[in-house]
């Protein structure tokens, strides 16, 4: 079984640019419906996708649809990149615990308020 997390977004083109820069890779798949970009995903490497909310329902609640976690090798560099992209910093870099392994993270909100946790494990 495979899965992914998809976020409902207001402006898919802006969100694709945001995630392309954050993930440092373009989407693997995009889908157009009635001449409008509807869907984008980054395939197996990230398990994340975006869908235009107006293709889903009229009763949409933006933000806090999920918490997506990415593990990185250099937390400070990712923090600086997130700030440069204009991401809203929700939580500063924090040492959560050291045992049984070291876990540090910070949280950001994407352009639609979806929460993303960026973490570094074991270093």
Q: Is the pLDDT of residue 32 over 60?
A: yes
CB 66 within 8 A of CB 5: yes
pLDDT over threshold 70, residue 123: no
User: Which backbone phi and psi does 119 adopt, to 5 degrees?
Assistant: -130, 160
In DSSP terms, which residues pair with 52 in a beta bridge? 9
pLDDT winner (highest mean) among 55-59, 61-65, 98-102: 98-102
| Dihedral sign for Cα atoms in the order 123, 69, 67, 8 | positive
Pair type for strands 67-71 and 115-121: parallel
pLDDT at position 47, please? Answer: 78
Alpha carbon distance 112, 61 (integer Å): 10
DSSP state of 44: G
**Domain ranges, residue 59:** 5-121
* Phi-psi domain of 43 (left: phi exceeds 0; alpha: psi -120 through 50; beta: other): left
pTM equals 0.69
H helices of the chain, in order, are 12-23, 75-84
Asked if the model's pLDDT at residue 25 lies above 80, the reply is: yes
User: What's the rounded mean pLDDT across residues 93-110?
Assistant: 86
Angle at which helix 12-23 crosses helix 75-84, to 10 degrees, equals: 150
Domain count, the chain: 1
The pLDDT of residue 58? 55
> What CATH number is associated with residue 39?
3.10.180.10
Give the model's pLDDT for residue 1: 38
Cβ atoms of 67 and 36 within 8 Å: the answer is: no
């Amino acid at each position: 079984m495979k899965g992914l997390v998809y976020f409902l977004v207001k402006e898919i083109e802006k969100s694709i640019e945001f995630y392309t820069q954050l993930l440092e890779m373009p989407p693997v798949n995009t889908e157009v419906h009635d001449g409008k970009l509807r869907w984008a995903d980054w395939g197996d490497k990230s398990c994340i996708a975006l869908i235009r909310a107006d293709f889903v329902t009229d009763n949409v609640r933006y933000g806090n649809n999920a918490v997506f976690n990415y593990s990185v090798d250099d937390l400070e560099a990712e923090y600086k990149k997130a700030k440069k992209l204009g991401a809203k910093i929700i939580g500063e870099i924090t040492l959560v615990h050291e045992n049984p392994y070291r876990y540090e993270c910070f949280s950001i909100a994407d352009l639609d308020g979806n929460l993303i946790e960026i973490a570094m494990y074991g270093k």
